Structure 1
């Protein structure tokens, strides 16, 4: 994706017995962009992590990569996310250098298997949730009702709420 990925739609996806159901990964040195990515009608059954957006995936062929080549992550949406037996439904791990911007999650109801206060895991993400979201989203996201009326602004735009002990 070093050259950029945009205008991608993924629909009607069923993922079962998986470590990671949907994953977007990048890192410093990749450059390019991931933008205008739409996921609709996702079902996760028996997944360790449902949605992963990770900006510190540090695999490079050598040490000569450009440390100033920062990718842009923006306009990523997830609509109609359902499932059972998911340990962590959402893990969005942006960074200070590579924040995830304009992330939207709409209509999510995922049965979880791991009871923990860090069910949604977010860091350096800006965006919103719309409508019914189960389990409760992280504080980094604005909350809107089904009619897209603002209910609550985020309280921790850059808070790190990550627990890798799962």
Structure 2
């Protein structure tokens, strides 16, 4: 994608026996934007990675792409995400030049099959968690209670919690 995608709602989705459930991928040279995307009522059953947002997906048809064209990824929300048998519920891999901004998680409970220190994997992402989210989200996301009152605001949202040992 080199244009843009916005104002999209994905709801009532069941993904089973898959490597990835939902994925947003882009890279330097793509330009454009992905914004105002809403995911609601997602169920994952036996998936390797539930939610992936990746900004270094470096596939280009040739070497003549504009290396200065940086995409924007912002205003992505995930509400009512449930499931079982998920190895990594969330992997958001932004970068210093292409951060992922304003990501929201609300009402999430995913049974995991892979117990590592960082089940949510995050780099260069800013956003918030509202209410109960399981497993524990990245430390660099702001936390709010069910009434959206601040519980814990992160000092920085560029902490890297990526662990590729699997």
For the aligned pair, the TM-score class normalised by the smaller chain equals over 0.9
- Match of 2:40, SS state, is strand
The reply to whether residue 90 of structure 1 matches residue 90 of structure 2 is yes
Structure-to-structure mapping, 1:5-16, within 5 angstroms:
5-16=5-16
What residue number does 1:136 align with? 136
**Preserved CA contact (<8 Å) 1:139 1:156:** no
Kindly tell me the number of residue pairs found equivalent between the two proteins: 166
Number of the residue aligned with 2:23:
23
User: What's the offset of the Cα at 1:155?
Assistant: 3.6
The Cα shift of 1:20 comes to 0.5
Gaps in structure 1 of 5+ consecutive residues: none
Runs of 4+ in 1 over 4 A off after TM superposition: none
Q: How does 1:51-62 map to 2 (within 5 A)?
A: 51-62=51-62
Q: Which residue pairs with 2:2 in the alignment? A: 2
**TM superposition score normalised by structure 1:** 0.98
TM-score (norm 2): 0.98
Q: Can you give the 5+ residue segments of structure 2 that lack an aligned partner in the other structure?
A: none
> What is aligned with 1:43?
43
User: 1-side partners of 2:55 and 2:89: how far apart?
Assistant: 18
Q: Hey, what's the Cα distance between the residues in 2 that align with 1:140 and 1:36?
A: 21
